[in-house]
Structure 1
Amino acid sequence: MTDRSVRNLVHLRSSASTARVLNLLNVYKDHGDEEEWAEKPLFRTPQLNRSMIIKHRLRRDELDAFPIKRQVATKIVIPIDTNDLRTGGRFLFVGQRHFERLMKEAFGVEHDHPDIATLKLLDRLPSLDPFLLREQLKRNGVEPAPCYLAISESDMARMLHFVEEEIRPLVTLSLGGENANSASSRRLAGKILSNEPGDRMEALRHTLRLEPEDYQEGIFCWKGFLYYKWVLNSLRGEIDGVAKAVRTVKPIGKVDRSAKEYLDRGREVLSDRITQTCAEVSRTLKVYDDAYVGLSVEGGANAFRDFLLAAPKMFARLGDQLGAVQHVVSFWRFRFGPNANPVSVDELIDIFMDFENGLAGRSQELGQSMIAA
C-alpha cells in the first residue's frame, strides 16, 4: 500500500520522534555513520531500520484490515524516496490480516525473524514514548544503541527525582519515619525503574500475593503510570498554551467560506478536546493515586493489588490518551515555533484534522469501575 499523506511525511522527517512517532529515518540521518548505530540496530532489516513507525488512529475504511476490533494500530512507513518525502511512502500495519505474509513479500523476512518479534513488542505499547519503549524492549531482551531511543540525561534525572518523591511515603511506611531518608527513596526508585534480573522487589510481590507474571506486568504498568504522571505534570503549561493558541492561530492567504467555517469549528472542538482528554487522563491517574495512598499511607495492600491487576487495561488507554496530547504539543512546538514559516490555509486544515482524529473516540469510561471489576 502507498501512503501519500505528503504533509505528514515531510513534517515527520523534519521533526523529532514523539510519543506517536518513532522516526528511524532521522536516527539514520543523524547517526548512520556511527559504529554503535550499525552494531546494535533496533531492526536488522535495513529498510525497517530507516523507516517511520507511527501510532496511527484507524480511519473507518481501515478497520476491516484487522482480524480484531481496534482503534489504534502501529503503522510502518517506508519512504519511496528518502531524499524527497513528497513522493510519499509504502506502508503496512503490524497485526493486519496476512501481516507475516506481507512482511515476507515486502522485506524478505520469515515469520520467526527477530524484527517481527520487535514490531509486535512495539505494537503492544500504547505509545512510542522513548522511556516506555526502552523498558518494553529491555525486559524482552532487546537493547538497541542509545541513539535509537534518545532520552536526555536531564530528563532521566528529573524522572528519577519525581519517582523518589512519589514513593517516599512507601519508604516511610516500610522503614519507619526515623529510618526513612533520601538515600532509601533513591534506592527504591532505582529498583522500580530497573529491569535487571533478580531486582524484582520480591518482598512487595509476596505482600501483594501476586503471581510472578501478574506482578511483572503490573510493575511495568506502574512504571508507565509514574512516567505518564510525570509527563502530564511537565506538559501542563504547554498544554494550556496550545489550547489557547488553537483558538487564535491564523493562516496566510485567502480563506474561503468553507475553510473559514471548518477552521472556526475546529478551533472550538480542538481546544475543548485537548482540555477534556487531559481531564480524562487525570481521572485515570487518580485511580492509581487512590490505590497508592491505600498502600503507602493506610497500609492496606488490597487496593494496590487490585490496581496492579487492572493496570494493563488502564495503561493502554492512558497511553493512547496522553500520547495524543503529547503529539499535539510536540508538533505544535515544532510547526509554530519562533522560527517557523507561516502556515497556509490547507496546511492548517490538515493539522486540525490530524489533531482532531488523534483526539477522537475517547468516550469510553475508565476509572474506579475497573478497580471494582
Structure 2
Amino acid sequence: MTDRAVRNLANLRTSASTARVLNLLRVWDEHGGTDGWKAAPMFRHPALNRALILKHRLRRDEVDRFRVRRHVATKIILPIDRDDLRIGGRYVFVDQIGYDRTMEETFGIGPSHPDRQVLALMDELPGLDPFLLREQLRRNGLAPDPCYFNLTEADLSRMTDFVADEIRPLVDLSLGPDADLAAENPVARLTAKIMSFTPGEDMSALGATLQLDPAEYEEGVFCWKGFLYYKWSLRSVIGDIGGVLDGVRRIRPYGRIEPDQSIAIERAREAVDRRIILTCEAAADMLRVYDEAFVSMTQNGDPSQFRDFLRDAPLLFTRLGERLGAVQHIVSFWRFRTAKGKPRLTAEELLDLLADFEISLSGRERPDVVALAA
C-alpha cells in the first residue's frame, strides 16, 4: 500500500519524534553510525529500524480493516525512497486484518519474532511519548539505546521532582507529617520506586493495602506513572496551546482566496478552536479523577477510591493519552509548519492543515469520563 499523504510524509523527514510520531528514520540519520544504535536497536529488521511509526486516527474507510472496532491504530510507514519522502511510502497497520501475512511477506518475520513484540507493545500505548514508550519496553525486558528516546536529563530531572511533590502526601500518610524527611529521605526513595517500577519491585505493601492482585497492581502502577507523566506534560501543553489558538485565529493564507475557501477556512478555524478547548477540558477532567482518588486515600483515609482508580487506570490512561497526544501533535506540527523560513500556507494548504487537526481531535472532546468517575 502507498501512503497518499505525501505532504505530511515529506515534512516528517526533519521533524523529531513526538507523542504521535516515532521517527526512526531521523534517529538513523543522526545516530546510525554510533555503537549504541548498532548494539541495542529498537528493531532487529533494518527496514523497520528506519521506518516512521505513527499513532493514526482512523478514517471512516479504514475502520473495517480491523476485526475489533478502534479509533486509533499504530501505522508503520516504509518510505519508498528514504532520500525523497515526497514519493511517499508503503504502510501497514499493526494488527489489521491480514497483518501476519503482510509482515511475513514484507519483512519475513513471523508472530514470534522479537520485532513483533515491540510493535505489539507500542500498539498497547495510547501515544508514542518517549518517556512512556521507554517505560513500556523496559518493564517488558527491552532496553533499546537511549538515542531512540527524545529525553534529556533535564526533562527526567524535572519529571522526577514533579513526581516527588505529587506523592509527598502518601509519604506523610505512611510516616506522619512530622517525620524527619531530611534524615531518611523517604520521598526520594518512594519516587525512585515509582519511576523505576518493574515486576518484583518492593511496593507490595501498597498493593496489599489496596487489595489488588499482583498483575492488576502492576498494570495499575504503570498507568499511575502515566497519569503523573501526563499531568506534568499538561502544564506545558496548556502554556503552548494558547499560542497555537492565537495563530490559528490570526493566520492569513498566501495568494488568491476563493470566496468558498474563505468561508471554509473560517468554519474550520472555529471548529478547531472549539475542539482544542474542549479536548483540554476533557483531559483536565480525567486528571481530576486521579486527584480526587489520591486525596481520598491520603487525606480522608479511604483507599477504596484510589483502588478503583488503579483498576480503571488502563482505560483512563488510554483515553487521556489519546487526547493529550492529539493536542501535542497539533502544537508540534503547527510550530514546525509555521516556523520562520517555511513557505507560507496557501488557502488549500491551510484548509488541509485545519482538517487534519479537526480529524485528530474528533470525538476526543467528549467528557466520557463521567461514568468512571461516579
State the TM-score, normalized to the length of structure 1: 0.97
Amino acid at match of 2:27: V
3-state SS in 1 of match to 2:61 = helix
Distance 2:59 2:34 in 1: 39
Distance 1:240 1:24 in 2: 30
Give the C-alpha shift of residue 14 in structure 1.
1.8
Give the C-alpha shift of residue 190 in structure 1.
1.1
Distance 1:339 1:296 in 2: 51
Distance 2:31 2:206 in 1: 41
Distance 2:145 2:247 in 1: 37
Q: Is the 8 A contact 1:31 1:37 kept in 2?
A: yes
Give the C-alpha shift of residue 312 in structure 1.
0.6
Distance 2:221 2:199 in 1: 14
Distance 1:325 1:291 in 2: 25
- Counterparts of 1:1-373 in structure 2, within 5 Å, are 1-179=1-179, 181=181, 183-196=185-198, 198-362=200-364, 364-372=366-374
User: Structure 1 residues 226, 344: closer, same or farther in 2, change over 3 A?
Assistant: same
Give the C-alpha shift of residue 196 in structure 1.
4.5
Q: Is the 8 A contact 2:126 2:321 kept in 1?
A: yes
Amino acid at match of 2:179: N
Give the C-alpha shift of residue 367 in structure 1.
2.7
Q: Is the 8 A contact 1:127 1:319 kept in 2?
A: yes
User: Structure 1 residues 187, 368: closer, same or farther in 2, change over 3 A?
Assistant: farther
Q: Is the 8 A contact 2:279 2:365 kept in 1?
A: no
What do residues 228-278 of structure 1 show as CA deviations (whole Å, max 9, x unaligned)? 000001221111111121111112111112221221111111111111100
Distance 1:252 1:185 in 2: 55
RMSD: 1.3
Distance 2:84 2:202 in 1: 48
Give the C-alpha shift of residue 187 in structure 1.
1.6
Further displaced range: 332-341 or 48-57: 332-341
Distance 1:152 1:340 in 2: 27
Give the C-alpha shift of residue 180 in structure 1.
5.2
- Percent identity of the aligned residues? 52
Amino acid at match of 1:80: I
Distance 1:60 1:91 in 2: 18
Distance 1:216 1:329 in 2: 32
What do residues 94-137 of structure 1 show as CA deviations (whole Å, max 9, x unaligned)? 01001011100111111211111110100010000000100100
Q: Is the 8 A contact 2:212 2:307 kept in 1?
A: yes
Q: Is the 8 A contact 1:218 1:312 kept in 2?
A: yes
Amino acid at match of 2:259: R
3-state SS in 2 of match to 1:118 = helix
Give the C-alpha shift of residue 341 in structure 1.
3.2
State the TM-score, normalized to the length of structure 2: 0.97
Amino acid at match of 1:138: R
3-state SS in 2 of match to 1:22 = strand
Q: Is the 8 A contact 1:252 1:342 kept in 2?
A: yes
Q: Is the 8 A contact 2:199 2:218 kept in 1?
A: no
Structure 2 unaligned blocks of 5 or more = none
Give the C-alpha shift of residue 333 in structure 1.
1.8
Q: Is the 8 A contact 1:244 1:271 kept in 2?
A: no
Further displaced range: 334-343 or 302-311: 334-343
Further displaced range: 339-348 or 22-31: 339-348
Q: Is the 8 A contact 1:54 1:76 kept in 2?
A: yes
Amino acid at match of 1:281: A
Distance 1:221 1:329 in 2: 24
User: Structure 1 residues 264, 99: closer, same or farther in 2, change over 3 A?
Assistant: same
Give the C-alpha shift of residue 336 in structure 1.
1.7
What do residues 187-212 of structure 1 show as CA deviations (whole Å, max 9, x unaligned)? 21111111345324111011101000
**Number of residue pairs the alignment of both structures matches:** 372
Distance 2:199 2:122 in 1: 22
Give the C-alpha shift of residue 369 in structure 1.
1.9
What do residues 39-76 of structure 1 show as CA deviations (whole Å, max 9, x unaligned)? 10000010000000000000111111000100000000
3-state SS in 1 of match to 2:372 = helix
